[in-house]
Amino acid sequence: MSKRHTGFAGLFLLATLAPGAADADEQTGRSLYLQNCAACHQTEGQGLGHPIPPLAGSPILLGDETEVAGLILHGKAGMPAFHLYLGDDVIAAILSYARDAWGNAAPPISLALVTAERAKLGNDGFRIPTN
Amino acid sequence: MADWGLPGLTRRQLLEQLGRVGGSAAVLAAMQAFGISTASAAERPPELRGSGAGKKILIVGAGHAGATSAYELSKLGYDVTILEARSFSGGRAQTARRGFQAQEMGGEPARCDFDDGHYINIGPWRIPYHHRSTLYYTKLFDVPLEIMVNDNDAAFLYGRDVPGRLNRQLVRQGEIKADLRGMTCELVAKAAATGRLDGLLSADDKEIFLDYLCNEGYLSRQDLTYRGVDGMGISIRGFARHPGAGLVKGEGLPLLDFSDILNSRLWQHFNAVTEFDMQWTMFQPVGGMDQIARGFERHMGHLIRFDSEIERLRQNDQGVTADWINTKTGQRGSTTADYAIVTMPLSVLHRLDTDFSESFKEAMEGVAYAPVMKAGLQMKRRFWEEDFSIYGGHIKTNFDNGMGIYNISFPSTAWQSQKGVLLGAYIYGAVAVQASAKSLRDRLEYCLDIGETVFPGHYRANFETGFSWCWHRAKYNQGGWAEWSEAGRKTAYPKLLQPEGRVYLAGEHLSYMTGWQAGAIESAWMQIEKLHHRVLQA
């Protein structure tokens, strides 16, 4: 479990420390977005119509930082709960990218904020599905 | 007719008589008095009396929750209509076979091209013995079952990039289990024998404990050592050369190294079948899981209006009205009823145009859904049986599927026939999301790469055609099953169990057996009982 949460830590750290960090951040964020979100939200955040609305101008994505971080961690309204699968660094990178892509212009989400949100989860009753 | 206490009356006969007189509550009370554990919370439908004649019930969704509700309520005389968005019933309890066509949201049209007679269960695929509710309907509807081999000691474990000598080795699970058990017993036995467990065990118990450890781990009683052989010196864990006729005594396989086993972490797979939900052998319907839906259809299929996607739901103190569109013809219409049972997954239902209260709408949003992908791969030869003597069960690897486990599962049907469809992927979470972003062809390549690593020279060479399906991209499902958090169970869940006006919800999401067919069936039983009592009291 702990391994999974830090699976991308090296990659992300490297990206943030390298010169031209802003570009690298964006690249990392985009590639993580494509990998983990695009199957449903599509490559340019255009969504899939009624069931999955677009991310450009999305009030939830661009709204309260803790709420949007909580949404990725806990899931909501049928969206998966990613806290079992994605590390805090990955979630922060993806959110920061999406909040600044496709005409969006919201400030980035910090790793510390995601970590603090995860800590609120406590024992949330999730278990590895085995059906 | 026998009296209650008459000898010769079996427990079951007594319970059946009690049921007739006192209903399900009396039966449950008696069973508890007998000390019988009722596995599923409910093992048969509620015993409902009185008539529903003259009352109309609208059901949305012809999965197991909807079909169960329709079947049971129509028996009571209710006038039942089911709106089903798809052109077939069964919901997620679905089977892909030749000609099966489907298209994910944002995806390419997919078509299953397996040979006739071959299939993959793209939804649920195994039934535990204690899901009495599911087994109630398979028996009632004459849906034949067969054994599904859910764990097989002859199937391999495979660790990629693990420390030690088990790295990238194919090892039969039974070998690792035997050595792990034997070596653990040896350690504990030696600790006990040298007094290191004194104070934890009485002197009398210590001797029996040592007997137990020697028996459990095949230890020599003389030196408390595990050698992987029984009292006759014959291997208990497999042979490099099998015993045979004449002078062929057989040659046992060498023991694995304890440290290698520990470091491989392949032992993490072994607690899976010890979960209550999982058994070494389970059940599957002969011919595919969709045979349960066919069974329901034989008894209530005439109540289903297919291709009817609900667009809007409204209610007042007189009844409920659903506006729907026929997805084939584009024709729109309305259906009105006294009450409705809505079985759509919450992931889809929360977006339906309804006049539900704000608090009910909020509750419907309070749950996550699991991303799930399955892929079936048709192989032209059952190499796992013919070349490796693996009949059913799962190859368990440490290829990441988000849970550190990636299984390849073999069909528990048509043993020793020519071809077979294996389950090349059953993945959850972020890995399922990632795989689902690939094209259909690339998904199969992803599965084949993994399989080829485990079975080099066999997997790709035998592959013919495959079919993958992602429930989180299915328009009418948007997820494999509901994933309730503890907080959601406390806040949203209780609200959804209550009717919203004249509308009752049902489905696996309203059970503690999420993702299981039994959850859908038993939630329907729960809701129709409430609904029927309300009708009788009105």
Q: How confident is the model at residue B22 (pLDDT cuts 50, 70, 90)?
A: low
Structure tokens at B21: 């007189």
Q: State pLDDT tens for residues B157-182.
A: 999 999 999 999 999 999 999 999 99
Q: What is the pLDDT of residue B5?
A: 35
Place of tokens 């904020």: A113
Contact B80, B52 (CB under 8 A): no
Q: Say if the Cβ atoms of A74 and B485 lie within 8 Å.
A: yes
pLDDT score of B228: 96
Torsion of CA A23, A24, A26, A31, to 10 degrees: 140
- Output A131 or B375, whichever has higher pLDDT: B375
Residues in a beta bridge with B335: B322
Using a CB-CB cut-off of 8 Å, the residues of chain B touching A80 are 368-371, 429, 433, 472, 479, 483
Kindly report the number of other CB atoms within 10 A of residue B75's CB atom. Answer: 14
Residue A27's pLDDT is what? 87
Amino acid at B172: R
Rounded distance between C-alpha atoms, residue B374 and residue B422, angstroms: 11
Whether the per-residue pLDDT at A15 is higher than 70: the answer is no
Query: What number of residues does chain B have?
Result: 538
Q: Considering chain B, what percentage of its residues have pLDDT values greater than 70?
A: 91
Contact A36 B433 (CB under 8 A): yes
Please list every residue in chain B whose beta carbon sits closer than 8 Å to the beta carbon of residue A123: 486
A131 pLDDT more than 80: no
Query: Is the pLDDT score of B495 beyond 50?
Result: yes
**Contact check, Cβ <8 Å, B483/A34:** no
pLDDT for the residue numbered B270? 86
Q: Which residue, A127, A97, A117, A98, is CA-closest to A15? A: A97
Three-state SS string over chain A comes to: CHHHHCCCHHHHHHHHHCCCHHHHHHHHHHHHHHHHCHHHHCCCCCCCCCCCCCCCCCHHHHCCHHHHHHHHHHCCCCCCCHHHCCCHHHHHHHHHHHCCCCCCCCCCCCHHHHHHHHHHHCCCCCCCCCC
Residues A96 and A82: beta-carbon distance below 8 Å: no
pLDDT in tens, B283-321: 999 999 999 999 999 999 999 999 999 999 999 999 999
pLDDT band at A78, cuts 50/70/90? confident
In degrees rounded to 5, what are phi and psi of residue B225? -115, 140
**AA identity, residue A122:** G
With 0-12 / 13-18 / 19 or more C-beta atoms within 10 angstroms meaning exposed / middle / buried, residue B232 is exposed
Helix (H), strand (E) counts: chain B = 16, 26
pLDDT in the model for residue B19: 53
The length of chain A, given as a count of residues: 131
Q: Is the pLDDT of residue B521 over 70?
A: yes
Lowest mean pLDDT among A84-93, B206-215, B336-345: A84-93
Residue listed under structure tokens 């085995």? A130
Distance from CA of A131 to the nearest CA of B (A): 6
pLDDT tens track for B361-390:
999 999 999 999 999 999 999 999 999 999
| Per-residue confidence (pLDDT) for residue A1, from 0 to 100 | 32
Name every residue whose Cβ is closer than 8 Å to that of residue B437 and which is 6 or more positions away in sequence.
A34, A35, A38, A39
pLDDT value of position B285 = 98
Q: Cβ neighbours of residue B96 under 8 Å, at least 6 residues apart?
A: B102, B112, B114, B119, B120, B122, B376, B467, B469
The predicted pLDDT at position A18 comes to: 47
Q: Which residues contact B59 (CB under 8 A, 6 or more apart)?
A: B66, B69, B70, B80, B81, B82, B83, B303, B340, B341, B342, B343
Give the closest of A34, A80, A85 to B369, CB-based: A80
Looking only at the bridges linking them, the beta strands covering B145-149 and B372-379 are unpaired
> pLDDT: is B428 or B323 the higher one?
B323
Q: In percent, how much of chain B has pLDDT > 90?
A: 87
Position B242, amino acid: H
Is B25 or A97 the better-scoring residue by pLDDT? A97
Q: Do B483 and A78 lie within an 8 Å CB cutoff? A: no
Q: Which is more confident, B411 or B8?
A: B411
pLDDT of residue B268: 87
Q: Measured between CA atoms, how close is B101 to chain A, in angstroms?
A: 20
Q: Rounded CA gap, B188 and B79, in Å? A: 66
- How far apart, in Å, are the Cα atoms of B337 and each of B59, B74, B78, B255? 9, 14, 11, 69
Q: Which residue has the tokens 């409430």?
A: B530
Residues A76, B365: contact at Cβ < 8 Å? yes
Residue pair B193/B203 in contact by the 8 Å Cβ criterion: no
Tokens of B96: 């892909």
Sheet architecture: strand order including B503-505: B304-305, B79-83, B56-60, B339-342, B503-505
At residue B28, the pLDDT reads 53
End-to-end Cα separation, chain A, in angstroms = 20
Which pLDDT band holds residue A6 (cuts at 50, 70, 90)? very low
Contact A4 B402 (CB under 8 A): yes
Q: What ipTM was predicted for this assembly?
A: 0.80
Task: State the pLDDT confidence band at B344, using cuts at 50, 70 and 90.
Answer: very high
> What whole-number distance in Å separates Cα of residue B49 and Cα of residue B44?
15
Task: Check whether B332 has a pLDDT greater than 60.
Answer: yes
pLDDT number for residue A23? 77
DSSP character string of B172-223? EHHHHHHHHHHHHHHHHHHHHHTTTTBTTB-HHHHHHHHHHHHHHHTB-TTT
Q: Where residue A124 falls among pLDDT bands split at 50, 70, 90?
A: low
Residue B490's pLDDT band, with cuts at 50, 70 and 90, is very high
Listed in order, strand segments (DSSP E) in B294-417 are 304-305, 308-315, 320-326, 332-337, 339-342, 353-354, 368-369, 372-379, 393-397, 406-410
**Domains of chain B, earliest start first:** 1-36 (no CATH), 48-89+290-366+484-537 (3.50.50.60), 95-155+279-286+369-473 (3.90.660.10), 171-264 (1.20.1440.240)
In terms of pLDDT, which residue wins out, B87 or A26?
Answer: B87
Cβ neighbours of A121 in B, within 8 Å = 485
Cα separation of A130 and B273, whole Å?
Answer: 10
> Exposed, middle or buried: residue B479 (CB in 10 Å: 0-12, 13-18, 19+)?
buried
pLDDT of B25 reads 53
**In the prediction, which pLDDT does B257 show?**
97
Mean pLDDT for B91-104 is 97
Query: Distance between the two ends of chain B, CA-based, in angstroms?
Result: 37
Q: B389-405 burial, b for 16+ CB within 10 Å, e for fewer?
A: ebbbbbbbbbbbbbbbb
User: Which residues from A are below 8 Å from B396, CB to CB?
Assistant: none
Interface of A with B (CB under 8 A): 3-4, 34-40, 42, 48-52, 74-82, 84-86, 121-126, 128-131
CA-based nearest distance B393→chain A, Å: 15
> For residue A104, is pLDDT > 60?
yes
Distance (Å, rounded) from C-alpha B261 to C-alpha B175?
10
Question: Do B478 and A51 make contact, defined as CB atoms within 8 angstroms?
Answer: yes
pLDDT of amino acid B220: 96
